[in-house]
Amino acid sequence: MALKDQITEDMKTAMRAKDSVRLGTIRLLQAAMKQKEVDERIELDDVAVIAIVDKLIKQRKDSVAAYLSAQRQDLADVETAEIGVLEVYLPKRLSAEEIQAEVAAIVAEVGAAGPGDMGKVMGAVKTRLAGKADMGLVSAAVKAALAG
């Protein structure tokens, strides 16, 4: 079953269960997916859906940090609950060691030899690890690989 269809089924299940947090979050996700389809006149595949989920999770994490710095734990808890709902749609994430191994292999493949090659390496990394790893960790691993 395609990820898009799975999200629709989960929305129906949340409606039946009257799970308002899950339902609201899934509706936001579907709205973001529909917006992308309309804007770009495309049919989303699983990779594109995962990219949207990743973006929404990043937005939620940024909001949590802002709410915590403003001492608004109640709002941070809402965002954290939404992150939990969204993370279900991501594939299993790579560990830090797996990320470092992948980055080392990509650095060797593209022949990168220093911090100036960061863009070239990140381009290759994004295509290979999109949706499989937290890009913040990937970026740190690339910096470390190119610095050493």
Q: What is the CATH number of the domain that holds 71?
A: 1.10.1510.10
- Domain coverage including residue 112: 96-147
- Same domain for 10 and 76, yes or no, is yes
CA-wise closest residue to 122 among 103, 105, 101: 103
- Say if CB 89 and CB 53 are below 8 A apart: yes
Q: Which of the listed residues 87, 104, 134 is the one where a domain comes to its end?
A: 87
pLDDT of residue 148: 64
- Same domain for 83 and 119, yes or no, is no
The Cα–Cα gap between 144 and 7 comes to 37
- Same domain for 15 and 48, yes or no, is yes
What is the crossing angle of helices 20-40 and 3-17, to 10°?
A: 150
pLDDT of residue 111: 77
- Same domain for 10 and 48, yes or no, is yes
The Cα–Cα gap between 128 and 74 comes to 37
- Same domain for 66 and 107, yes or no, is no
Q: What is the pLDDT along the chain (148 residues), one digit of tens a residue?
A: 789 999 999 999 999 999 999 999 999 999 999 999 999 999 998 888 988 998 999 999 999 999 999 999 999 999 999 999 999 998 888 888 888 888 888 888 877 777 777 888 888 888 787 777 877 888 888 888 887 6
pLDDT of residue 8: 95
pLDDT of residue 64: 96
Please tell me the number of Cα atoms within 13 Å of 80 on its side-chain side. 11
Q: Which of the listed residues 87, 109, 139 is the one where a domain comes to its end?
A: 87
Residue 127 Cα distances to 14, 120, 135, angstroms = 33, 12, 11
- Same domain for 78 and 101, yes or no, is no
pLDDT of residue 59: 95
